[in-house]
Amino acid sequence: MALDVGVIGVGMIGQEHIRRLDGGPGGSRVVAVADADAERAAAVAGQLPVAKALPTGEELIASDAVDAVVVTSWGPTHEPYVLAAVAAGKPVFCEKPLATTQESCRRIVEAEVAAGRRLVQVGFNRRYDPAHRALKQAVDGGAIGAPLLVHCAHRNASVPPHYTREMSIADTAIHEIDELRWLVGQEIVAAQVFTARKSSRGGQLQDPLLVLLEMADGVLVDVEVSVNIHYGYEIRCEVSGETGTVELAEPAPVTIRREGTVAGLVPADWRERFALSYDIELREWADTVAAARPPQGPSAWDGYVAQIVSDAALRSLSDGARVAIELPPRPDLYTPTATP
């Protein structure tokens, strides 16, 4: 069956996802777009074979031409669109974060539970990255014995001027928060943030910082967040277990040896590093919803839990204290089946 998709928010990642979805997986086509910037929406629609620019996201969701919705507008605008899609009974892929407050995320979870079926998937793309999948396979397969410690780093060459101190956690480390729950298969029970000597390149930001996360089974995780590190974009993860370690390999496809040095290229940004993960993420989502099956990827519950942990880390960023995390009971709708 063809899947006709509407995309709300056609900025940077919205346009990337359109490129992947139009004429792509599951027989998907982009049939409608909407954006706060009507001219941008019209320009994007004009480059697509069958898409129309609609005046608002609400009209796009209500349109009979749209089978499924992709929300790629800015985070604070996600909640009303996701709620409207759930109310309309349409599958909705929402970029991370699901919403920017715990209360918003809880309302989405409650709406989906009331609808009685999974409709929402959140864009935590690490779960689709082949290297991260291989890492999880090694851990789950017992290659290093029981995992004990995890060391992560999330490094950006630079960030835009609107990037705030809080975004180091709420927009950046939130990827690790979801990744670790998925990788270790445990909930995060406490968070503490340590601030290092400030980089002279970071302006008013607290850059870098170190996030310490405690998992329910005692695994301890440290996450370096550096968002002005100049040399490139790099994601590191090493799991230390009872009998060995496993880590993400260098992302460079080749190693160059010349003039007494060995070098590999570092990706410039997330688009380059994670291109394949977005391809797989959207293909699996479109294939699943085109087959009228519930989405199997990160759920509204995962988005809600990530927000709770992110808020705990933000509290620690402001006062330096360890913050214990207690989750509300998980509704039966989100009992894990096969995870991607």
Report the interface residues with ligand NAP, using CB under 6 A.
Answer: 8-14, 34-37, 40, 57, 72-75, 77, 95-96, 123, 125, 171, 270
Q: Strands 261-264, 255-258: parallel, antiparallel or unpaired by DSSP?
A: antiparallel
Query: Residue with the closest Cβ to ligand NAP?
Result: 11
Grouping H, G, I as helix, E, B as strand and the rest as coil, residue 21 is: helix
The smaller minimum CB distance to ligand NAP, of residues 95 and 207, is found at 95
The smaller minimum CB distance to ligand NAP, of residues 72 and 299, is found at 72
The CB-of-124 to ligand NAP minimum distance in angstroms stands at: 7
The CB-of-26 to ligand NAP minimum distance in angstroms stands at: 20
Q: What is the rounded distance in angstroms from the CA atom of residue 77 to the CA atom of residue 225?
A: 25
The CB-of-43 to ligand NAP minimum distance in angstroms stands at: 11
Q: How far is CA 177 from CA 48, 117, 139, 277, in A?
A: 36, 25, 17, 17
Assess contact for 244 and 152: CB atoms under 8 A.
Answer: no
The smaller minimum CB distance to ligand NAP, of residues 26 and 303, is found at 303
The smaller minimum CB distance to ligand NAP, of residues 87 and 216, is found at 87
The CB-of-274 to ligand NAP minimum distance in angstroms stands at: 6
Share of the chain residues as helix, strand and coil, in percent rounded to the nearest 5: 40, 25, 40
The smaller minimum CB distance to ligand NAP, of residues 73 and 192, is found at 73
The CB-of-174 to ligand NAP minimum distance in angstroms stands at: 9
Question: What are the structure tokens assigned to 246, written together?
Answer: 């496993």
The smaller minimum CB distance to ligand NAP, of residues 77 and 296, is found at 77
The smaller minimum CB distance to ligand NAP, of residues 233 and 301, is found at 233
Burial 238-274 (b: 16+ CB within 10 A, else e): ebbbeeeebebeebeeeeeeeeeeeeeebbeebeebb
Give 45's contacts (C-beta < 8 A, 6+ positions apart): 32, 33, 51, 52, 53
The CB-of-46 to ligand NAP minimum distance in angstroms stands at: 15
The CB-of-317 to ligand NAP minimum distance in angstroms stands at: 19
Q: Which residue has the tokens 């705030």?
A: 164
Q: What is the rounded distance in angstroms from the CA atom of residue 223 to the CA atom of residue 99?
A: 23
